[in-house]
Amino acid sequence: MSIQLCTNLFYFQTFSFEERIPAQNTLGWIAVIIPVMGGLIVGAMARWGSKAIRGHGIPEAMENILQRDSRIPRRITFLKPLSSAVAIGSGGPFGAEGPIIATGGALGSWIGQILPVSAYERKILLASGAAAGMTAIFGTPLSAVMIAIELLLFEFRAKSFVPVALATIIAATLRSLFIGPESFFQMPPLPDTNITQLAIFLVFGLVMGLMCILVTKSIYWIEDAFEKIPVHWMWWPAIGGIAVGVIGLIEPRSLGVGYGNISMSLSGSLTIGAAASILVWKFLSWALALGSGTSGGTLAPLLTLGASFGFIVGTGITMLFPDWNIDPHAMALVGMAALFAGSSRALLTSVVFALEGTKQPLGLVPLLGCCSIAYVVSSLLMKNSIMTEKIVRRGLQVPHEYYPVKSNSH
C-alpha cells in the first residue's frame, strides 16, 4: 500500500492508495525528474537514517546472519520499507519482495533481540519473518520456506523448518483472507512436455545460465563504476534516477515493480517487439538503478527479464519450427524461473515458486530441467551469485549449500 501511495503522490499528485502504475502518467518530460527526486530522498535516508537500507535486501539479511548473530538494527524495520516505497513509487524498476523480505527479517530479528533467545534461535526468527514477508506478497508459502533454507538458514532440520513453515502458513492465510486465493501470475494451462520439447528446454537452460552470468556481472560492473564517481555515495541514487527517468520516457513499462509485464509474457499478450523493448530497457534501468546503491529488490526484475526473453525465444521457435510445438507461455515460465535459479543459486526455490505462483503442475518437468542446467552453468562459470557477490567482497565466507540435520550441532 505504501508503494501505491508513493506512486500516486509522485506521478498523479493525489493522496490515494488506488492501484496505478507509473506508466499511466501523463506528465511527459516532467516525469524524468521523479526518479531523481526519489533517489535524493533515499540517499538522504541512507546517510542520516541508516546506510543499511541501501541494497537488494536479501544479501543484507544474509550478512546480518553470518556476521552479526542475526542482529538487525530496529530502525531498519521501518526505514527499509519506507525507503523502498519511495524508490519504487518514484519509478524505480525494482520488486517489492526483496525489501519486504528484509523488513520481515528485521522484524523477526527485533523480536529475537527482545526475547531471551540464542543467536541460533534469533536466526530462525529472522528467517521466519523473511519467509512470511515473501508469502504475503506472492502467496507462495512453500517457496518462501525454500528461500529461507537456501539463502538464509543454509540447513534443513525440524528445529528451524517448523517455525518458518508456521510463519508462512499464517502469512498465506491472512493474504488469502484479504486478497484472495488466486495465483499471483495468470497464464493459460500448459500442455504435456514430450522428449523433443524437453531437449529444447534443456538447451534453453544452457542459454539462461549464460544470461545469468551476464546479468550478475553487469550489475556489479555498474556498482564498481559508481564507486569511482568522485561524489558522496548519498548522491548516487539520484544519478541512477536520471537514467531511470530517461529510460522511462522511452519505455514507460520499465518504471516501477512491473509484475504486469511478467503476467503479459506468461499470458502471451505481448508482441515480440514489446517483449524485446521491455527486456532491453528494463535491464538497463534496473542495472543502473541497483548499481547506484538505492533500495530495491532483484527478484521481480529477474523474473521480468527471464519471462520476456523466454517469450521471445518461444515465439521465435514457434514461427521458425512450428512442428516442434513449443509453447511460448511455457518458455516464458521456465525462462523467468531459470534466470532466478542461476543468478541466485536458489534452485529449488525457483522451481517451486514458478509452480506455486502460476498453479501450473505440468510445468514441473521443463522447470526442473531448464533451471537445473542454468544453475550448473552459472555455478561452473561464476563463483558467486547475485546475492552473495556483495558480501563475499566484504570478506565474508558464504555457504554454497544447505546442510542436513546434525545431532551434535547447536
Mark whether 209 and 358 lie in a shared domain. Answer: yes
Torsion of CA 214, 91, 102, 383, to 10 degrees: 10
Closest Cα to residue 59, out of 172, 151, 129, 187? 151
Mean pLDDT over each residue of the chain, to the nearest integer: 89
* 409: pLDDT strictly greater than 50: no
CA distance 68 to 108: 14
> Cβ–Cβ contacts within 10 Å for residue 225, how many?
12
* 410: pLDDT strictly greater than 50: no
Mark whether 150 and 282 lie in a shared domain. Answer: no
Number of domains in the chain: 2
pLDDT tens for 247-268 read 999 999 999 988 899 999 999 9
Q: Is residue 402 part of a domain?
A: no
* 404: pLDDT strictly greater than 60: no
CA distance 302 to 305: 5
Mark whether 263 and 293 lie in a shared domain. Answer: yes
Q: Is residue 85 part of a domain?
A: yes
CA distance 212 to 359: 25
Residue 35 has a pLDDT of 96
DSSP three-state, residue 55: strand
- Cell triple for residue 239? 544519478
Q: Return the CATH number at 129.
A: 1.10.3080.10
pLDDT above 90: percentage of residues in the chain: 60
CA distance 87 to 283: 17
| Grid-cell match 570478506, residue found | 395
Residue 168 has a pLDDT of 95
Give the number of C-alpha atoms closer than 13 A to the C-alpha of residue 103, restricted to the C-beta side. Answer: 22
DSSP state of 176: H
Q: Is residue 39 part of a domain?
A: yes
pTM across the whole model: 0.91
Domain assignment of residue 276, given as a range? 195-393
